[in-house]
Structure 1
Amino acid sequence: MNIHTFPHLRMAALGLVLGLVSFSALAQGVYRIVGPDGRVSYSDQPPPAANARPVASGATGAAGGANAQLPFELRQVVSRYPVVLYTSAECAPCNSGRNLLNARGIPYSEKTISTFEDAEALKRLSGQASLPIVTIGSQQIKGYSDSEWTQFLDAAGYPKQSALPTAYRRAAPTPLVAVAPATPEAPATTAQSQPSEAPAPPVAPPATNPAGIRF
């Protein structure tokens, strides 16, 4: 099939190349950062703390190892137009999209939306909270459509039939938001240590307080 013969495929390829909608932050995962003051923020970059790593770092490494097993041509397509699927439990259209990708042997990573933080991050990054969403490179496709997904997968250069090796194992789904707690700030040190005050003696509850609650 010549892509130049079909204008809709040519436009799909152009959309993939230009990356009309930037969605790389979702593909990399989102960090939920809790600051020392308790404020919560979201970012696609981990905090500077050395021990702050995404919860799904092991799964990411597994996906990279799985891609190394792919045939050269397929590996080249995956590197240019990685596929990420965003799903939730009990989502029939999500299952349909997953079945399509599996039937064609498309290597993809799956991000699950199962918590309030996941839903909020998805809404901030995509503008909506409906699922499924699939990204092919920088192109974002909202909702499941067999013809539309097939059109963009074809334009990206993915094979129509599975070319996955028999030993290929897909990485397990991971949550969209990876919690990365911030490192608490070290207390300021003084030249001379101040003597600690003796703790106040406990106050006995009055006789009229049957629960024995201390104030």
Structure 2
Amino acid sequence: MKFAATFFLLMSAASVQAQLYKSTGPDGKVTYSDTPPAAGKVIPQKAVAGEGSNSGDGLPYELALAVKNHPVTLYSSEKCIPCDDGRKLLNERGIPFSEKTVKSNEDIAALHKISKDDQVPVLTIGSNKESTFSPTAWGTALTAAGYPESNRLPKTYRNAAPVAAAPGAASPGKSAAPAANTTSTAGNGDALPAAGNAPPGFRF
């Protein structure tokens, strides 16, 4: 009886430290196994601490790998329904992402370095860019980047708070210095300044 218990413990320890192999078959199906497959693309992984183990920042291996190779960033603005819909899709699917807000002229210039489109939301998945919100297009792009199709985020995971698209841009609560002599005199033919700080033609 004592020998059987010892044997069971030894076998359990061996299985905990087993090498994990990720293979992609000819049909594109991904399989995880503790033994090397006979065929297909093999990606050996570090030893894992049993089934359901997380890696990286507490993320499952497949999700952590997608985040490393194809990080996701959402460019959004206030009072933007498509932005809200895009954010909801990412959260429901369990996609770790960073969010950059477009509010100032500097933010708009930063967005133009990413996308020539003057419309938000814009989603970047690694080097891939998706302009405007499309559930089908966004979902297909996320799947192609290796993100799981179902939510596998740990319940304690939280995305970072949104930041301005332009590094060093003024915070939303900081008021800009008032422009001098902006009051228009009736009948003098001077045009009133544009409302807000967005240049003409930019669409939120």
**Is the Cα–Cα contact under 8 Å of residues 58 and 154 in structure 2 kept in the other structure?**
yes
1:108 to 94, 97, 102: 97
| Alignment check: 8 A CA contact 2:72 2:125 kept | yes
- The one of 132, 137, 146 equivalent to 1:148 is 137
Q: Secondary structure at the match of 1:158?
A: coil
CA separation in 1, counterparts of 2:26 and 2:83?
A: 28
1:168 pairs with one of 146, 157, 165: 157
Which residues of structure 1 form unaligned runs of 5+?
6-66, 181-215
The structure in which a higher percent of residues are helix is 1
Please identify, of 112-121 and 79-88, the stretch whose mean Cα deviation from structure 2 is larger: 112-121
Give yes or no for the alignment of 1:128 onto 2:117: yes
Which ranges of structure 2 fall in alignment gaps of 5 or more residues? Answer: 1-24, 29-55, 170-204
| Structure 1 counterpart of 2:78 | 89
* Partner SS, residue 152 of structure 1: helix
Q: Shift of the alpha carbon at 1:115?
A: 1.0
| Aligned equivalent of 2:178 | none
* Structure 1 residue 73, shift from structure 2 partner: 1.7
TM-score under structure 2 normalisation? 0.54
Deviations 1:145-194 (A, max 9, x none): 011011111111211111011111110001011128xxxxxxxxxxxxxx
RMSD of aligned residue pairs (Cα, Å): 2.0
CA distance in 2: counterparts of 1:177 and 1:144, whole angstroms: 22
Count residues in correspondence. 118
Residue of 57, 78, 90 corresponding to 1:68: 57
1:159 aligns with 2:145: no
Identity across aligned pairs (percent)? 44
Closer, same or farther: CA 71–124 of 1 in aligned 2, 3 Å? closer
Contact 2:62 2:146 in 1 (8 A): no
User: What is the distance in 2 between the residues matched to 1:90 and 1:169?
Assistant: 23
Shift of 1:121: 2.2
